[in-house]
Amino acid sequence: MEDFGLYAYQEEVVERALRGENSIIWLPTGGGKTRAAVYVAKRHLETTPRAKVVVLVNKVHLVDQHYNKEFKPHLGGGYIMVPVSGETEQKDFFGSVVQDSHVIICTAQILYNALINSEETRHVELSDITLLIIDECHHTNKDSVYNKIMRCYVEKKLRGERLLPQILGLTASPGTGGAKILERAVEHVLQICANLDSAIVSTKNYAPELKKVVPRPMKTYDIVEKRPEDPFGQHLKWMMELIHGYMNLPPDLQLRECGTQEYEADVVLLEKQGVKEHNRVLAQCALHLREYNDALLINDTLRMMDAYRSLEGFYDTKSATVMDGTDIFLVGLFEENQIELKKLATDSRYENPKMAKLEDVLLNQFGQAVQSRGILFSKTRKSTHCLHDWVCKNRALQGAGIRAAILTGAGNGITYMTQHEQADTIRRFRQGGLNLLISTSVAEEGLDIPECNLVVRYGLLTNEIAQQQASGRARARESQYSVVAQAGGREVRREKMNEYLEDLTGKAIAEVQAMNSHVFRKKVRVDLQIQAVIANKFAENLKTEKRSRYAASSVQLLCRNCFKSVALGSNIKLVEKSHYVNISPDFKTQYKFGGQNIIDKSFEDWEPGCTIICNNGNCNKQWGFEMKYKKVAMLPILGIDKFALETPDGRITVKKWKDVPFTVEDFSFEEYCQDNFPDILD
């Protein structure tokens, strides 16, 4: 293995995989899991007849990263390699791609779609694959797409099918699954092993070498005291109390403390209750209270002006959508207090002390004579934009030579980044044009980001896996991992708990590894795999029953804002297993158009059109957008969370289309054309 450049600890962890055994490689971030997997793939291709290697990743940008940085440099010469994602044309004939290639690197969703697709050019069988590598395999749980693929695998194995691929999982931490005692943590690790049908391996003999290659950063708790006065936050809470009074809440209903995640959960339930009870006062007040609560959370973490602008941005759109007395009260309350809120938000005497502490932490690592590189992790896309604005306007930080950029997840919308923007930001960071990334969790795992001197966790409440991933980004010598938080606050308590859980994970893995092989196999196969298959069948039956609970024609879709009935469930069809559209010609009278919907990629059979919004008076609730399908059909794509469902047994709300209590039939383009263009077809 010397010519491949593996460390001794990497050679140790691939031994079982090289013998053809299913295994999970457990190494810390920066430990070279992917390089070890490339070596296993290389040996597999050299020694296995008709070898076919599929590498699964859980994020689109990792497809090209693994292809260009790891697999192509070491395997590209003698093998046909293809990267496939939802942004590439190969997804449309993925079955043929698998047949014609030696190594395929793709998102897990691409493979799963191929497993359940019956079209010959798109279909793939697990038996077509000889080695299946699963990156960040700790995500193989619950209803994740990784686990859907592995359920297919486990069911085939339990039925006695032999032509199944070898499994190789890669993870920096399987976590404890929320368990806080060793026995439950062991059960979680065993469940991950059962889901992947694999044993978990780590270095035993070369742990000192691993520690030397991947040093742990120096961890600091940079603590600030709670600000003695917060008139801006107190004024927001006073306004929230006025809304509570307007709602006329029952005396026995106790909302939890304002400015917490728990309060947010309470008002989310209140909004749903209001929709179900046709109580627009309750529903709308709950929506506005969530915005005030969000402003309090921002005020606790960022600048007061960031919190103020968050509310201001929300109400900029609300003045044009006033429908009744509730809207008049809510919009009027903000407008009456807007000047006072802005005045308080600009009073520097009451500014958030966490920002000053964060400034100190950054200045300690950055300076004109220091070549530093860092990542500042924050919770939301909104907070990364606020922090970037603060860094760019802070004279001291600019004087220290900090060149910052935002790194967030890909998607559609003003606060999302395109795949190209992500790649360009990381390239500039790697080349030194940038030296500070202000990032959401997207930078915690998987991304090929250079070694950092500093990693800061700011205003975060995450689990032990995310903490370990973030810590692993501080890989430069004598690097610092800083937690900036309020004394006695939730962030400190969670960070301390995560430290305990990280240690617990290691102990749980050690117990699993020490198990007698017969006991391990029995627990995995009998206690967990068979049980999981039975539970999955039961859950699928329940879903089928739920989807057929009502006839589609008996369910009405109501705008979630104005409660007007605008469609029937039978009007909804499913396009290409992905898009839920309304095919009724009469539906066009229910909406009007907003701006053009921009999506930074092209699709084979459709293109996005304008956003659509409720046409009932002054409602203006955004429902989705139109798609132009096969250059002919203009079909409105709807988000089910924008609607309430009126069923024969009462009103309900659902988050996702898969949860609707009626069957949605597949869209037929031929039938659509016959109904809408009969003269042309005749």
Q: Do residues 170 and 275 share a domain?
A: no
CATH number of the domain that residue 608 is part of: 2.170.150.30
The secondary structure of the chain in percent helix, strand, coil, rounded to multiples of 5, reads: 50, 20, 30
CATH number of the domain that residue 294 is part of: 1.20.1320.30
| pLDDT score at 14 | 97
Task: Indicate the pLDDT class of residue 247, thresholds 50, 70 and 90.
Answer: very high
Q: Among 71, 470, 30, 22, which Cα is nearest to 7's? A: 30
Q: Do residues 495 and 523 share a domain?
A: no
Question: 115-140 in b/e burial notation, b at 16+ Cβ within 10 A?
Answer: beeeeeebbbebebbbbbbbbbbbbb
pLDDT at residue 413 greater than cutoff 60:
no
Q: Do residues 162 and 44 share a domain?
A: yes
Q: Which of 350, 379, 399 is the last residue of a domain?
A: 350
Please state, as a whole number, how many other Cβ atoms lie within 10 Å of the Cβ of residue 211.
13
Sign of the C-alpha dihedral computed for residues 306, 307, 312 and 317 taken in this order: positive
**Residue type present at position 573:** K
Question: How far is 248 from 269, CA to CA, in rounded Å?
Answer: 16
Question: How far is 558 from 275, CA to CA, in rounded Å?
Answer: 10
Q: Phi/psi of residue 255, each to 5°?
A: -80, 145
Q: Which of 291, 320, 350 is the last residue of a domain?
A: 350
In a domain, 545, yes or no: no
β-bridge partners, 376: 438, 456
| pLDDT score at 452 | 84
Question: How far is 626 from 380, CA to CA, in rounded Å?
Answer: 28
Q: Do residues 193 and 341 share a domain?
A: no
Residue 255's Cα: distance from chain center in Å? 28
In a domain, 541, yes or no: no
Q: Among 280, 340, 300, which Cα is nearest to 619's? A: 280
Among 484-493, 496-505, 526-535, the minimum mean pLDDT is found in: 484-493
The whole-chain average pLDDT of the chain stands at: 91
Domain assignment of residue 161, given as a range: 2-213+516-533
Q: What pTM does this model have?
A: 0.88
Kindly tell me the burial class for residue 438, based on how many C-beta atoms sit within 10 Å of its own C-beta (0-12, 13-18, 19 or more).
Answer: buried
pLDDT at residue 2 greater than cutoff 70:
no
pLDDT at residue 464 greater than cutoff 70:
no
Q: Do residues 307 and 357 share a domain?
A: no
In a domain, 539, yes or no: no
Give the helix/strand (H/E) hosting 53: strand 53-57
Q: Do residues 134 and 26 share a domain?
A: yes
In a domain, 547, yes or no: no
**Residue type present at position 440:** T
What confidence tens digit (pLDDT) does each residue in 188-213 have?
A: 999 999 999 999 999 999 999 999 98
In a domain, 333, yes or no: yes
Q: Phi/psi of residue 99, each to 5°?
A: -65, -35
Question: How far is 605 from 601, CA to CA, in rounded Å?
Answer: 12
Please state, as a whole number, how many other Cβ atoms lie within 10 Å of the Cβ of residue 100.
11
Q: Do residues 341 and 357 share a domain?
A: no
Task: Indicate the pLDDT class of residue 471, thresholds 50, 70 and 90.
Answer: low
Sign of the C-alpha dihedral computed for residues 555, 560, 566 and 571 taken in this order: negative
In a domain, 682, yes or no: no
Q: Do residues 239 and 131 share a domain?
A: no
| pLDDT score at 459 | 83
pLDDT at residue 236 greater than cutoff 50:
yes
Task: Indicate the pLDDT class of residue 680, thresholds 50, 70 and 90.
Answer: low
What confidence tens digit (pLDDT) does each residue in 324-347 have?
A: 999 999 999 999 999 999 999 999
What is the DSSP code (8-state) at residue 178? T
What confidence tens digit (pLDDT) does each residue in 534-571 have?
A: 999 998 898 888 888 999 999 999 999 999 999 999 99
How far CA 9 is from CA of 4, 5, 39, 114, 577, in Å, comes to 14, 12, 13, 36, 44
In a domain, 617, yes or no: yes
pLDDT at residue 673 greater than cutoff 90:
no
Number of structural domains in the chain:
4
Count of CA atoms in the C-beta half-sphere (13 A) of 593 = 10
Q: Phi/psi of residue 331, each to 5°?
A: -65, -40
Give the helix/strand (H/E) hosting 638: strand 633-638
Q: Do residues 484 and 447 share a domain?
A: yes
CATH number of the domain that residue 186 is part of: 3.40.50.300
180-188, long-range: CB within 8 Å, 24+ apart, which pairs? 180/500, 180/501, 180/504, 182/504, 182/507, 182/508, 182/511, 185/501, 185/504, 185/505, 185/507, 185/508, 186/508, 186/511, 186/512, 188/508
Task: Indicate the pLDDT class of residue 414, thresholds 50, 70 and 90.
Answer: low
| pLDDT score at 598 | 75
Q: Among 217, 213, 140, 131, which Cα is nearest to 174's? A: 140
| pLDDT score at 78 | 84
Q: Phi/psi of residue 122, each to 5°?
A: -110, -20
What is the DSSP code (8-state) at residue 445? S
Q: Do residues 179 and 222 share a domain?
A: no
The SS3 of residue 606 is strand
What confidence tens digit (pLDDT) does each residue in 256-274 have?
A: 999 999 999 999 999 999 9
Question: How far is 14 from 8, CA to CA, in rounded Å?
Answer: 10
Q: Among 585, 675, 592, which Cα is nearest to 635's? A: 585
Q: Do residues 346 and 361 share a domain?
A: no
Mind giving me the DSSP string for 101-170? -SEEEEEHHHHHHHHH---TTT---GGG-SEEEETTGGG-STT-HHHHHHHHHHHHHHTT-----EEEEE
In a domain, 527, yes or no: yes
β-bridge partners, 82: 104
In the sheet with 131-134, reading across from the earlier edge strand, the strands are 81-84, 103-107, 53-57, 131-134, 166-171, 23-26, 199-201
Q: Do residues 55 and 139 share a domain?
A: yes
